[in-house]
Amino acid sequence: MNISKKDMLLYVVTDRSWLGKNDLAAQVEDTLRAGATFVQLREKQLDDAAFLAEARRIKAVTDRYGVPFVINDNVRVALACGADGVHVGQEDMEAGDVRKLLGPDKILGVSAHTVGEARLAEARGADYLGVGAVFSTSTKLDVNTLPFETLREICGAVSIPVVAIGGISRDNIRKLKGSGIGGVAVISAIFAQPDIYAAARELYNLSKEVTTA
């Protein structure tokens, strides 16, 4: 499956930390109605059976909108639910091994923090890169903030799309302009907000502004 920069424009990463009594599939649909262009299901607490059930529900929503849907880390769940692909971090499975399991037609996203990691991921079959953390973030406390210049160097070093991630909000997103990114990946800036649709719509418009040369 071919991935372009426009698919990265507003990349939403789910998080049930703020879910409460709400329904995750309904929240994802709110982001898609607002313009989200890519969805990653990220589940750290669910067992594989519950993860798979949730993945199938989310995939039914993304299918209706024709938006790419990937699973964070779990190749088994991704293959079982028919997701479009998987996103893996540097501490997870090696990109080349994941590509062998997925086959040539699924999407493979890889996290990268240096030019070397980015080039290696592309060489091993990555379709896009998640690069960060570009700002400090409460989602991953053990990740250092990536300098703007490194983000720009990574974007210039690879031919595949790059999505910036980590602490991105309506207040700081404009600082990423000129980096070469295809878009932004957001978690709390959408899912922790009282009006998910409005938050996603605003970030969609801001991302278009930031990625316009």
Beta bridge partners of 108: 86
* 87-108 pLDDT, tens digit each: 999 988 899 999 999 999 999 9
Return the number of other C-beta atoms located less than 10 Å from residue 178's C-beta. Answer: 13
> Which tens digit of pLDDT belongs to each residue from 15-33?
998 888 889 999 999 999 9
∠ Cα 131 98 135 (to 5°): 15
How many residues are given for the chain?
213
137 has pLDDT over 80: no
* 154 within 8 A of 112, measured Cβ to Cβ: yes
Give me the active site residues, please: 42, 111, 140
5-211 has which CATH code?
3.20.20.70
Report long-range pairs for 76-81 (Cβ below 8 Å, ≥24 apart).
76/48, 77/48, 77/51, 77/52, 78/102, 78/106, 80/52, 80/55, 81/52, 81/55, 81/56
Residue 139: predicted pLDDT: 60
- The Cβ of residue 45 has, within 10 Å, a number of other Cβ atoms equal to 8
Q: What is the DSSP letter of 46?
A: S
What is the pLDDT averaged over residues 48-71? 97
Give the residue extent of every domain in the chain.
Answer: 5-211
| pLDDT tens sequence across 138-194 | 665 556 899 999 999 999 999 999 999 999 999 999 999 999 999 999 999 999 999
pLDDT at site 144 = 81
Best CA proximity match to 90, nearest among 150, 40, 133: 133
pTM beyond 0.75, yes or no:
yes
User: pLDDT value at position 20?
Assistant: 81
> Looking up tokens 């997701």, which residue turns up?
83
Q: What per-residue confidence (pLDDT) applies to 142? A: 58
